Structure 1
Amino acid sequence: MKQFLITLLLVLLLSFSFVKQQTKAEDIREWNRFELTGIVKALKEKTYKANFTSK
């Protein structure tokens, strides 16, 4: 019975840490998406300005 309780406790701790890591990964992924959107927008603006100045 004691081993069962220890195993149950370890499984619960591991599952909580997994959920925490998963949430952190989602936040990082969302931040990367915003960062990439900003980079693409900046590159499009620079390309657009370069096309006007080259003519």
Structure 2
Amino acid sequence: MSNDKQHAVAELQTMRERVRAIRTDFCEPKSNANPRYLALSNVVSNLTKAIEDLEAGAR
């Protein structure tokens, strides 16, 4: 993996961890019935997909 791609993956991983922390700190109840929790969970999921795609070497 190129250095640029590794850097991008590292940035996305940092974003994912920050969003998780925000979700933990600011979402009660921690349930998909809570719109904020659900939205932040979707962000985490989509960041994970982007990370996996980059790591797999897809365009």
Q: Which structure has the bigger radius of gyration?
A: 1
TM-score in terms of structure 2 length: 0.44
Which protein has the bigger helix share?
1
Could you say which structure has the greater relative contact order, defined with CA pairs below 8 angstroms and 6 or more residues apart?
2
